[in-house]
A = this chain, B = another copy of it.
Amino acid sequence: MTPKTERWEQAAEVPLMLAAFVFLAAFAVPIIWWPGTPAQVVLVCEALVWITWVIFAVDYLVRLILSQNRLSFAKRNWFDLIVIALPVLRPLRLLRLVTLLSVVNRRASSNLRGRVGTYVGGGAILLAIVGALAVVDAERGADGANITTISDAFWWAATTMTTVGYGDRYPVTPLGRGVAVGLMVSGIAILGTVTATLASWIVERVSEAKAESDSVSRDIQLLRQELAELRAVLRKEPEPGSNEGAKPH
C-alpha cells in the first residue's frame, strides 16, 4: 500500500461511515413511513441514496487511481466493485452497509475471540435490520405477500437467520426470496462461527488443563535432566585429566 493510499483511507474513513449511516437512514425512512410518505421526503431520501452512492464511487475510483497495480486492485476489491456497479437492484444497494462492520471492528478488543464475537454480534444485528428492510420493501406490493409490516419483517428475519423457519411469514417474490437466501446463508455462517469460537475456547481450556501431564513437555524435562548430568560429567573430568598431566612434573 502506497503512503498516499494510506493517507486517503485514513481521511476517507469517517466520511464513508457517515455516508453509510445516512444511506441506511435514507433507505429505511420511506420503507418504515408507509403508506403515505410525503413526496418531498421520498425525494430527499432518494437524493441522499444517490449522493451516498457517489461518495462510495469516488472513494473506489480514488483508491483505484492511487493503487500501483490497478488490475490487481480491481481483482482484490471485486466486492466493492459489485456494490458500486449494481445499484439498480435495491436490496443489493444495502450491501454497501458491510462497510459499517469496520466501525464495529475498530471498537473490538485486540483479543481474537473477542473480535470474532463482536463481528458476529454486530454483523447479525446489521444483517437482520438490512434484511428486514429489504424484504418488506420487496414484498409489500406483491399478491399473497404476508410480510407487509416492519415488525413482521424483523420477526421473519429472526426466524430465518436462526434457521428456525416457522413458516408463519415467508417471502413470495423472487427479490424477497433472494434476500431470504442471503439471510439463511448468513445464519449458517453465524451459527458456524458461534460454534467454532466456543469450540476453540473449550479446546484451549481443556488443553491448558492437561498441559502439565503432557508427554512432550515431560520428554523435554527428561532431556534437560540428561544435559545437566552431562555437564556435571564434563565439569568433573577435564580437571582430573589436567591434574594427571601436571602431576608427573
Interface residues in chain A, defined as those with a beta carbon under 8 Å from any beta carbon in chain B? 112-113, 116, 151, 155, 158-160, 162-168, 170, 172, 174, 177, 180-181, 184-185, 187-207, 209, 211, 214-217, 219-224, 226-231, 233-235, 237-238, 240-242, 244-249
Contacts and interface: CB of A to CB of B under 8 A. Distances in A.
Given A159-B165, A165-B164, A195-B195, A202 B200 contact: yes
A137 to B, nearest CB: 19
Copies of this chain, count: 4
A112 to B, nearest CB: 5
A190 B216 CA distance: 33
Given A159-B165, A184-B162, A227-B230, A249 B246 contact: no
Given A177-B155, A195-B195, A234-B230, A216 B206 contact: no
A224 B199 CA distance: 34
A202 B241 contact: no
Contacts of A241: 238, 241-242, 245
Contacts of A180: 158-159
